[in-house]
Chains A and B, each alone.
Chain A
Amino acid sequence: MTQANVDTPSLINASPFSEFLAGARDSFPLIVGAIPFGIIFGTLAMSSGLSFAGAMAMSAFVFAGSAQFIALGLVAVGTAWPIIVLTTFVVNLRHALYSATLAPYVRHLPQRWQVPLAFWLTDETFLVVIKRYTQQPTVPYNHWYYLGSALFMYTNWQVCTFIGLTVGQMLPNAAAWGLDFAMPVTFIGMVIPYLKNRPMVATVIVAGVVALLAHAIPHQLGLMVAALAGIAAGLLVQQWGKQEILV
Chain B
Amino acid sequence: MNELYLIAGMAVVTFVIRYSMFVVAGRFEFPARLNEALGYVPPAVLTAIIVPAVLMPNGESIDLSWTNAYLVGAVVAAVISWTSKNLLLTIVVGMAVFFGWQWLVG
Contact = CB atoms under 8 A, between A and B. Distances in A.
Given A28-B88, A188-B90, A203 B30 contact: no
Contacts of A240: none
Nearest to B80: A189
A161 to B, nearest CB: 13
A100 B23 CA distance: 10
Interface in B36-95: 36-56, 62, 69-70, 73-74, 77-78, 80-82, 85, 87-88, 90-92, 94-95
Contact of A226 (B10, B48, B53): B48
Main secondary structure of the interface of A (DSSP, over half): helix
Contact of A62 (B14, B20, B40, B55): B14
Residue from the set A33, A51, A62, A98 with the largest chain B CB neighbour count within 10 Å = A62
Contacts, number: 259
B25 interface: yes
A198 B85 CA distance: 19
Contact of B74 (A57, A94, A185): A185
Interface in A216-246: 222-223, 226-231, 234-235, 238
Given A99-B22, A181-B70, A81 B5 contact: yes
Nearest to B48: A226
A208 interface: yes
Contact of A193 (B26, B73, B85, B98): B85
A184 B18 contact: no
B37 A207 contact: no
B48 A207 contact: yes
A186 interface: yes
Interface in A27-86: 28-30, 32-33, 49-51, 54, 57-58, 61-64, 67, 71, 75, 81-82, 84-85
A46 to B, nearest CB: 12
